[in-house]
Amino acid sequence: MQKNRIVGYDIARALAIFIMVIINFNLVLSNLRDTGILSHVLSFLQGKGAALFVVLAGAGISLMIKKSLQSNNKLDLKKKRRILLKRALFLFVTGLIYMPLWPADILHYYGFYILISVLVMHSKNKIIWTAVTVIIAMYPVLMLFIDYEAGWNWTLNEYTNFWSIQGFTRNLLINGFHPVLPWVAFMIAGLWLGRQDMSNTKIRKQILWTAMFVFMATQLISSSLIEMLISILGFSIEDATAILGTQPMPPMPLFMISGISWSFAVTAICIWISEKSEHKKSLDFLVKTGQLAFTHYIVHIVVGILSAYLFFGENNLSSIEALLYAFLFYILLVVFSIYWRKKFKKGPISLLMRLITG
């Protein structure tokens, strides 16, 4: 059962990478003029892959320390805490190194998510959910005192003073692509998910149906409140969506709730699929792809988007063409994963990280 559970998590990671590939390729390569069904689907998926990616990382931390927590092995917990802090530093530095290529990087934020998650990873479930709730709730309060648009040039979609101390801190914590507040709540919620016995059908169904209900209710509430702000209070559609929408920028509470519930539901479904599959080898290509998730995240930027940018230029393709290119590149990632895993258990970036951090 434990093996199947891990397989399910790997499949979910493969899906998270797939979503990020098609969203990021579309962002850089597409002329964004399409207004059809594909445009709505891509809009719906904005931020969903990254949210799933971070939630799964939190679950991974819980699975990593599970035996140590159960046996109350403080020495082993201390050792794993040290390893996690080293990995947080590695990811932070790695993200900053290639930010000139990809300003929307998540890895340097990721390092801070781990840093904060390490502080609460041994806490009781009640404290975990209190932390998630407080972080999500405090963000709109912060927006009353901080200008979310500070530092942004929305015409060029650039952060103008990122490398200044003030700009870097503000971007990292408050108004970047994946700011620590409130995005760290995804990883902390993942800590709780990783503690659950997802091989238990009853528990998995409870999580799945609760998450699906919360997700659908959040989407319905969001659209209803946006319509009310526009029709009754005279808000523009842009302002109403920014406040009560489920889009990732700014990451307001309804987006966070939507992202957590979406991630829980998708993970539960992936684990269920892995258990119900009569021919588990048929899912092996997804398992191997998910196991190289960190490598694929970096490769799809440094190799995929950069090469496409050199060939096609920026925003010169239709949404369909960008999507087809993303599909092709993802297939290449899958093929690479299959051949790499024949010789190595970890991806190249994971091996490098383990070599450096222990």
Is 214 inside a domain boundary? no
Residue 182 class from Cβ within 10 Å (0-12 exposed, 13-18 middle, 19+ buried)? Answer: buried
Q: Coil, strand, or helix at residue 350? A: helix
Q: Which helix (H) or strand (E) holds 159?
A: strand 158-159
Tell me, yes or no, whether 118 lies in a domain: yes
Q: What is the pTM of this model?
A: 0.93
Q: Rounded distance, CA 267 to CA 6, Å?
A: 11
Q: What is the pLDDT of residues 142-174, one digit of tens each?
A: 999 989 999 898 877 788 888 999 999 999 999
Is 80 exceeded by the pLDDT of residue 247?
Answer: yes
Q: How confident is the model at residue 41 (pLDDT cuts 50, 70, 90)?
A: confident
Dist CA 189 CA 57 (whole Å): 10
* Within-domain flag for 106: yes
**Quick one: pLDDT band at residue 49, thresholds 50, 70, 90?**
very high
pLDDT confidence band for 279 (50 / 70 / 90): low
Whether 162 maps to a domain, the answer reads yes
Please give the pLDDT value at position 4.
42
Residue 183 CA to residue 194 CA, distance in Å, equals 18
Rounded CA gap, 47 and 16, in Å?
10
Q: What is the mean pLDDT of the chain?
A: 89
**Region 297-315 average pLDDT:** 84
Does 299 reside within a domain?
no
- The 10s digit of each residue's pLDDT in 107-124 is 999 999 999 999 999 999
**Residue 266 included in any domain:** no
Q: What tens digit of pLDDT does each residue of 250-259 get?
A: 999 999 999 9
- Specify if 76 maps to a domain: yes
Q: Give the containing element (helix H, strand E) for 17.
A: helix 2-29
Cβ pair 95, 108 in contact under 8 A: yes
Q: Cα torsion for 186, 223, 235, 45, to the nearest 10°? A: 50
Reduce the DSSP state of residue 152 to 3 states and report it. strand
pLDDT at 280 (0 to 100): 62
Q: Is residue 57 part of a domain?
A: no
Give the list of residues 6+ apart from residue 79 with CB closer than 8 angstroms, or none: none
DSSP string, 180-228: HHHHHHHHHHHHHHHHS-TTSHHHHHHHHHHHHHHHHHHHHHHHHHHHH
Quote the pLDDT of residue 203. Answer: 94
Domain containing residue 137: 63-195
More confident residue, 180 or 277: 180
Distance between CA atoms of residues 165 and 107, nearest Å: 19
Residue % of the chain over a pLDDT of 70: 96
The residues, any chain, with a CB within 8 Å of residue 251's CB and separated by 6 or more, are: 47, 139, 179, 182, 183
Q: Tell me how many domains the chain contains.
A: 1
pLDDT above 80: residue 315: no
CA 38 to chain centre: 21
Three-state secondary structure call for residue 266: helix
